[in-house]
Structure 1
Amino acid sequence: MKKVIFLVRHCKAAGQDPSAGLTPEGNLQAQELARFFESQEVNRIISSPYTRAIQSIDPTVDKLGIRLEIDDRLAERVLSSGEMPDWMERLRASFHDLDLKFSGGESGLEATERAMEVLRDASDGTVLVTHGNLLGLILKRIDESYGYEEWVKLSNPDVYKVEIEEETHQVMRIWE
């Protein structure tokens, strides 16, 4: 049986803190997402607990009349608990070595595993709202050709459609 899952990166945010909300531009993008999902078959919406993810999908929840579920497994990956002035280089390295783990953080493999649990448990027509690093890792798990360079190209927001049939996954970007 085939199922379709939508992976969404949150809209433009005012910061990286879990409580950071959307910018005025991000709020407009959230309205665009709601219009976009009106033409899709959506039955369920699950979001990261971060404010920017919830605010990104709230207009869709309102427009479609679907209850929003929160799942901590969709929270952004913590690269490290300490300051990392060279975090972009460290992130790049972590895409190439999924076992790489920095102080107080989680490896790419650990983050991917928790996110893939949500994807496996999702029913047909589910929207999963998450963050850039985690989305990039999910895409890499589904299609090995995705990596750091593709992560850099992700937009805020971004939407990917994943078609799952048995153990086969196909992914395509559907946000323009």
Structure 2
Amino acid sequence: MKTIYLVRHCSATGQEPDAELSDLGLQQADELVSFFKNKKIQHIVSSPFKRAQDSIQPTAQSKNIPITIDERLAERTLSSGNLTNWLELLEKTFTDLDLKLDGGESSREATVRAINVLNESPSNCVLVTHGNLMSLILKHFDESIGFKDWKSLSNPDVYTLTIGNNDSTIERLWTK
């Protein structure tokens, strides 16, 4: 059995790769320290986005574990263009996994890169990522997960994935 903690970053000031955590996000990052205090963690892998790294940095320091940065955990790019109907298009990508907009990546492409990180990660690993990618990872293990589940994610959010040879379980751990 392999246990992976999947973490969505804390509240941030924007969506840009270098967006900082908000004041609330800084408090939430400290709450993650308490949350993970009694959990067995051996590795931490984060998206290269600043908000993801800053969300887990206090936990990494408290456990004396370095953060490994992996580009494959970066948020999915829906499109390189400015879309007025981006929410409607995002919803479609949960049912049409191969829908690919200009300059973006399909849900299937994003899922493959994220699952590769998960497969390469040892047990008791924390993976820190973003809402859309997190939803796609969860969908990989449970096809019923979709757009409404993405909309219900919080900042931060934490799920545990327990992966066996022939089965897996998903449990939402963050309840704030």
Q: Is 1:172 paired with 2:151? A: no
Amino acid at match of 1:44: H
Instruction: State the match for 2:99 in structure 1.
Output: 100
Instruction: Could you tell me which runs of 5 or more consecutive residues in structure 2 were left unpaired when the two chains were aligned.
Output: none
Deviations 1:84-110 (Å, cap 9, x if unpaired)?
A: 011100000011100000000000000
Cα separation, 1, equivalents of 2:150 and 2:166: 24
Instruction: State the match for 1:62 in structure 2.
Output: 61
What secondary structure sits across from 2:3 in the alignment? strand
What secondary structure sits across from 1:96 in the alignment? coil
Instruction: State the match for 1:46 in structure 2.
Output: 45
Task: Give 1:172 deviation, angstroms.
Answer: 0.7
What secondary structure sits across from 1:41 in the alignment? coil
Instruction: State the match for 1:91 in structure 2.
Output: 90
Amino acid at match of 1:147: G
Cα separation, 1, equivalents of 2:166 and 2:80: 35
Cα separation, 2, equivalents of 1:76 and 1:10: 11
Task: Give 1:145 deviation, angstroms.
Answer: 1.1
Q: Which runs of 4+ in 1 moved over 6 A?
A: none
| 1:1-176 to 2 correspondences below 5 Å | 2-176=1-175
Cα separation, 1, equivalents of 2:5 and 2:97: 24
Amino acid at match of 1:161: T
Cα separation, 2, equivalents of 1:167 and 1:105: 33
Count of aligned residue pairs for this structure pair: 175
Amino acid at match of 1:81: S
Q: What is the TM-score with the length of structure 1 in the denominator?
A: 0.98
Task: Give 1:167 deviation, angstroms.
Answer: 3.8
Structure 1 vs Structure 2: percent identity of aligned residues?
51
